[in-house]
Amino acid sequence: MSNPASPPAVGVVDDRPPLTFPPGFLWGAATAAYQIEGAAAEGGRTPSIWDTFSHTPGRVVEGHTGDVACDHYHRLGPDVALMAELGLKSYRFSVSWPRVQPGGTGPANAEGLDFYRRLVDELLGHGIEPWLTLYHWDLPQPLEDVGGWPARDTAARFADYATLVADALGDRVRYWTTLNEPWCSAFLGYGSGVHAPGRSDGADAVRAGHHLMLGHGLAVQALRAARPTAEVGVTVNLYPVTPASEAPADVDAARRIDGLANRFFLDPLLRGSYPADLMADLAKVTDFGHVRDGDLATISTPLDVVGVNYYSRHVVAAPDPDAEPEPYWRAPSCWPGSEDVRFVTRGVPVTDMNWEIDAPGLVETLRRVHEEYTDLPLYVTENGSAFVDEVVDGQVDDADRLAYFDAHLRAAHEAIEAGVPLRGYFAWSLMDNFEWAWGYTKRFGMVHVDYDSQVRIPKSSARWYAEVIRRNGLAAQ
Ligand code: IFM
């Protein structure tokens, strides 16, 4: 089978045309605090749930932790210079909550905020637009100790933290994302437990999802109060969900997983309601007693932009009592109430995460958000792939990753031509980093990181992406 993400083989004529993106298209790359910063116990930072989780034996592959990571905390200047060398127009980073508000309550930690002030100033000094994410999964541990996201109060704490950051950085940061991928925080963190804090309870996962969205809504209001000119949004990770066949039972399995993966978040955030069919599917898990009057109005507080993270597609089939469950999805499950739905592999090329490469799925996803949910400007706030890289003579030729980006940028362009108001694209990731439960064993970066020496080597994909940015599009091949 041919690889949908690969350029044609040598000798095969490639008639793909050059593609130009709209003027002002925001080309960027993304990272997250715990994945790159290191300096876990410096400058007043206190543990987050990911510090606790990664230091718990058996939770992260090879016992890796984010203690040092890419040591970005100490290498901010050269790292931003590298971004400038690649020509990035924007850099999406996240603020570590326990660095700026140790413990998750009380006053700001000036030293923590100073790190982000320096980062933002350095970016602006190089003409790079800072794009700030408030929460990329690093809940302060003391907030987990009093209940974590399943507890309603965490939402209010998050809004307080948003105010602290907006007061400090609102004068120089235009783009604000409240949450990154609340599905992962809720359903991997509290459902399957493969992410921090590693709890496994379907009802807690559903409560966590609701309180994350409530925290988002309260934070949007707090950001607007602090900085009326801020452009505020949220980032959701979305998947097209395809039935393995047209059999009604497979179609229903796809409906259920689409409900949990996509509509659980899109509907409350952009329509102010939970889908009725999803609530029915979840009836044996929760009675939704945690949802109070007014919550959905808060959750759907109007936004300025919507961020979409896209990696792959889910193909699913009806439960089969005789089938061996896929290990990753086995109970405890991140699909409460639909644990028995089967995730099917189609035999198409996959990345090193075993995720199927499916660029057309990006077109579908962006069109769906625009056509079914919102006219707001959309940004691909993450898209990328892990592959095994090899350093040869000081170079990394990551042809697979480059082909993945190429195919997905072509898909992004197709979505724009179909009328989607897509305004920017952020590659995941600027550099190799701590890939959560996989530790440092998976590399998503356009820039290779040697974790012993901390030497950075831009891979072929980074050089290629720099050229894409320079041209504002893709050259004819
Ligand atoms: O590394 C993660 C990132 O933190 C969130 N989105 C998906 C990426 C790849 O798994």
d(CA 414, CA 418): 6
Q: Which CATH superfamily hosts domain 28-471?
A: Glycosidases (3.20.20.80)
- Give the number of other CB atoms < 10 A from CB of residue 377: 18
Q: Best mutation site among 48, 137, 334, 382 for ligand 1, i.e. most ligand atoms within 8 A of its Cβ? A: 382
Q: How far, in Å, CA of 385 to CA of 288, rounded?
A: 36
Query: Does residue 369 register a pLDDT over 50?
Result: yes
Question: What is the pLDDT, as a whole number, of residue 131?
Answer: 99
The pLDDT value recorded for residue 320 is 87
Q: For residue 349, is pLDDT > 70?
A: yes
Report the C-alpha gap between 439 and 59 in whole angstroms. Answer: 10
Q: Ligand 1 centroid vs 135 CA: distance in angstroms?
A: 13
Q: Which atom of ligand 1 is nearest to the CA of 428?
A: 8
Query: Is 181 considered catalytic here?
Result: yes
State the Cα–Cα distance between residues 296 and 49, nearest whole angstrom: 27
372 part of the active site: no
d(CA 202, CA 191): 5
Q: pLDDT of 418-447, one tens digit each? A: 999 999 999 999 999 999 999 999 999 999
pLDDT for the residue 8: 44
Q: Whole-angstrom distance between the N-terminal and C-terminal Cα of the chain?
A: 22
Q: pLDDT by residue (tens digit) across 134-171?
A: 999 999 999 999 999 999 999 999 999 999 999 999 99
Per-residue tokens: 1? 């089978």
- For residue 198, the Cα-to-chain-centroid distance in whole angstroms is 19
Tokens of 183: 């599905």
Whole-angstrom distance, CA of residue 361 vs CA of residue 310: 8
How far, in Å, is the centroid of ligand 1 from the Cα of 435? 7
pLDDT of residue 321: 80
pLDDT digits (tens, 9 = 90+) for 306-322: 999 999 999 999 988 88
Rounded to 5 degrees, what are φ and ψ at 89?
-90, -25
Identify the pLDDT of residue 331.
57
Nearest-atom number in ligand 1 for the CA of 433 is 1
Average pLDDT of the chain, as a whole number: 95
Helix (H) or strand (E) holding 278: helix 276-281
The structure tokens listed for 334 are: 């991140």
Q: What are the backbone angles phi and psi of residue 36, rounded to the nearest 5°?
A: -130, -25
43 backbone φψ class: left, alpha, beta (φ>0; ψ -120 to 50) = left
Atom 10 in ligand 1: residue holding the nearest Cα: 435
Q: Write down the catalytic residue from 122, 364, 382, 435.
A: 382
Ligand 1 centroid vs 185 CA: distance in angstroms? Answer: 11
Instruction: Take atom 9 of ligand 1 and give the residue whose Cα is closest.
Output: 435
Residue type, 401: R
What is the Å distance from ligand 1's center to 248 Cα? 33
Q: Which residue lies with its CA nearest to atom 2 of ligand 1?
A: 435
Gap between the Cα atoms of 106 and 101, Å rounded: 7
Distance CA 382, CA 51 (A): 24
What amino acid occupies position 287? D
17 confidence band (pLDDT: 50, 70, 90)? confident
332: pLDDT confidence band, cut at 50, 70 and 90? confident
Least confident of 49-53, 208-212, 340-344: 340-344
Position in ligand 1 atom list of the atom nearest CA 386: 9
Q: Could you report the per-residue pLDDT of 454-473, keeping only the tens digit for each? A: 999 999 999 999 999 999 99
Mean pLDDT of 70-80: 99
Give the dihedral sign, CA 110/116/122/125: negative
φ and ψ at residue 354, rounded to 5 degrees: 70, 20
Q: What is the pLDDT of residues 82-130, one digit of tens each?
A: 999 999 999 999 999 999 999 999 999 999 999 999 999 999 999 999 9
> 116-135 burial, b for 16+ CB within 10 Å, e for fewer?
beebbebbeeeebbbbbbbb
pLDDT tens profile 270-306: 999 999 999 999 999 999 999 999 999 999 999 999 9
> Which residues have any ligand 1 atom within 6 Å of their CB?
32, 35, 181, 309, 382, 428, 435, 444
Residue 326 has a pLDDT of 56
CA neighbor of 101 nearest in space, from 142, 133, 62: 142
Give 194 Cα–ligand 1 centroid separation in angstroms: 14
- Give residue 3's pLDDT band: very low, low, confident or very high (50, 70, 90): very low
Which parts of 89-172 are beta strand (E)? 90-94, 129-135
Which among 428, 429, 433 is the best mutation to test ligand 1's pocket, defined by most ligand atoms within 8 Å of the CB? 428
What is the whole-number distance in angstroms between the Cα of residue 439 and the centre of ligand 1? 12
Instruction: Round to whole Å and give the CA distance between 432 and 385.
Output: 11
Residue in 117, 237, 110 with CA at minimum distance from that of residue 171: 117
Q: Identify the CA nearest to 70 among candidates 444, 462, 466, 460.
A: 444
Q: How far is CA 182 from CA 134, 210, 384, in A?
A: 12, 9, 19
Catalytic member of 37, 122, 181, 339? 181
For residue 395, the 8-state DSSP code is B
Calculate how far, in angstroms, residue 249's C-alpha sits from the geometric centre of ligand 1.
Answer: 31
Nearest Cα to 162, choosing from 92, 207, 237, 104?
104
Which atom of ligand 1 is closest in space to residue 384's alpha carbon? 9
Task: Kindly state the tokens that stand for 193.
Answer: 């437990």
- Check residue 292 and give its pLDDT: 98
Q: Tokens 């990551």 belong to which residue?
A: 398
The continuous run of DSSP H or E covering 30 comes out as strand 26-30
Question: How buried is residue 390: exposed, middle or buried, by Cβ count under 10 Å (0-12/13-18/19+)?
Answer: exposed
DSSP states of 363-385 as a string? HHHHHHIIIII--S-EEEEE---
Distance 434 CA to ligand 1 centre (A): 9
The percentage of the chain sitting over the pLDDT mark of 90, rounded to a whole number, equals 93
- Residue 32 CA: nearest ligand 1 atom is 4
3 state SS of 68: coil
Side-chain half-sphere CA neighbours of 223 within 13 A = 30
Distance 177 CA to ligand 1 centre (A): 15
User: Looking at ligand 1, which atom is closest to the CA of residue 137?
Assistant: 4
What residue type is 386 in one-letter code? A
- Going by the DSSP 8-state scheme, the letter that residue 196 receives in this structure is T
**CA–CA separation, 69 vs 15, rounded Å?**
42
Q: Atom 1 (ligand 1): residue with closest C-alpha? A: 435
Best CA proximity match to 35, nearest among 462, 443, 446: 443
pTM assigned to the model: 0.96
Work out whether strand 473-474 and strand 19-20 pair parallel, antiparallel, or are unpaired.
Answer: antiparallel
Q: From the CA of 309, give the closest atom in ligand 1.
A: 6
